[in-house]
Amino acid sequence: MKRLLPLLTAALLGACAPVQTTIDPAALPRATDYGPHHFPMEWWYVSAFIPDEGLALHWAQFRVRDSRLPVPLMISHVAVTDLRSGTLSFLEQPAGSGDAASAPLQLTQGAWTFRQQGNSPAAPFELKAGPLNLTLTPLKAPVIHPPGYSGGPGVGALYYQGVTRLALKGTVGGRTVQGQAWLDHQWGNQIPGQTALWDWFSVHLQSGDDLMVYRVRRPDGEVAQLIGSVVDPGGQVRPVTGLRATPGDTWTSPAGHTYTLGWRLQADDFDLTVRAVRREQELRSRSTRIDYWEGPIEVQGTWAGQPAKGTGMMELVGGVQR
């Protein structure tokens, strides 16, 4: 069975999608719902750009369910960008068994773990994965990002929950760090790289506001959904109105995917320019057979009529490996 797991996962995520389960956009989950769930696809992400340390990091735990398999498959990624040395390291655990339980949330795949240290929404999380040994303490309450899901008919949908700002402390590769992080959690019937691609932005603004923008694309590149949310300094979430995302500068990776690394994000109350800090951030996953760009960004412009600056992370899905 262990030898078959990588082949089965590649089939599920590449050529033959799991049987999809209908989600109900009118019945949204609780903001404190960290999972796990009985849907074909579920993942948890932690991402952080720590400018003072010259570091950016990304951890992802995927959980894939299919009626043809006896147990859910777990896959996990860790990427660390060292801006001082100009290096990107990418580690992954291939498809295999693992544990997922709640509440409190407990995720385990091999020696990598992600655990919340209590049932309170304010309880810290502990992440131990490869070079990461971190404590993540929520600075804001968990939210459901309006309208509650990403995607929709034709591309599949994922419920969308998370914490937009957490205090980060610990070590990365043995180096002591502290900064701020972002936690995402999604689940549903959307199959990354096959039924949908996306461009995703998470921004911590100096004002204390947190901005999320999600641009879901069909495999042919047509935009299927554009949504955004703001979590204000007090932790209240609201949808972005009048949102527009205008692509700018592009970069073509050695694998042949073209990623848009410069953007203009506009809405009724902001006008922001997004710039990738470093181009060479493509992650080529052997376990999922999907290529995606994940890296730090800098943002500046106006917010509520005032000058604004911020930093964050951007994720651009290139698609199934060629």
* 129 Cβ contact partners less than 8 Å away, ≥ 6 residues apart: 59, 76, 78, 112, 113, 114
Asked if residue 192 has pLDDT above 90, the reply is no
pLDDT of 42 reads: 96
Angle formed at CA 148 by CA 238 and CA 201, multiple of 5 degrees: 70
Q: Is the pLDDT of residue 11 over 80?
A: no
The DSSP symbol for 154 reads T
pLDDT of residue 7: 40
Quote the pLDDT of residue 92: 97
Concatenate the DSSP letters of all residues of 57-122 into one string: EEEEEEEE--TTSSS-EEEEEEEEEETTTTEEEEEEEEEE--EEETTTTEEEETTEEEEESSSSTT
Q: Two tokens at 298? A: 């800098």
pLDDT of residue 141: 97
Is the pLDDT at 277 greater than 60? The verdict is yes
Task: Confirm whether 309 is domain-assigned.
Answer: yes
Question: For residue 21, what pLDDT band results from cuts at 50, 70 and 90?
Answer: low
Residue 129 within any structural domain of the chain: yes
The answer to whether residue 209 sits within a structural domain is: yes
pLDDT in tens, 149-160: 999 888 999 999
Q: Is the pLDDT of residue 16 over 90?
A: no
pLDDT single digits (tens) 167-190: 999 999 999 999 999 999 999 999
* Interior angle at CA 57, CA 30 and CA 89, nearest 5: 135
Contact 269, 245 (CB under 8 A): no
pLDDT at 247 over 80: yes
Number of folded domains that form the chain: 1
Output DSSP code: residue 269: T
Residue 23 has which token pair?
A: 């989600």
Q: How many Å apart are CA 193 and CA 41, to the nearest integer?
A: 12
Residue 261 lies in a domain: yes
CA distance 265 to 247: 9
Q: Left (φ > 0), alpha (ψ -120 to 50) or beta: where does 170 sit?
A: left
**CA-based nearest residue to 119, from 235, 30, 34:** 34
Strands 250-252 and 223-231, by their bridges, are unpaired
Residue 316: give the domain boundaries: 39-320
In a domain, 33, yes or no: no
Assign 5 to helix, strand or coil: helix
State how far the Cα of 37 lies from the Cα of 126, in Å rounded to an integer.
21
Mean pLDDT over the full length of the chain: 92
What CATH number has the domain bearing residue 56? 2.40.370.10
Summarised one tens digit per residue, pLDDT across range 91-131 is 999 999 999 999 999 999 999 999 999 999 999 999 999 99
Strand partners for 61 = 44, 76
Residue 210: inside a domain? yes
In a domain, 205, yes or no: yes
Is 63 a member of any domain?
yes
Q: What percent of the chain has pLDDT over 90?
A: 83
Contacts of 233 (CB under 8 A, 6+ apart): 207, 208, 209
What is the reported pLDDT for 8?
44
Global pTM reads 0.93
CB 39 within 8 A of CB 23: yes
144 confidence band (pLDDT: 50, 70, 90):
very high
For residue 14, give the 3-state DSSP assignment: helix
Read off φ and ψ for residue 300, nearest 5 degrees.
-150, 160
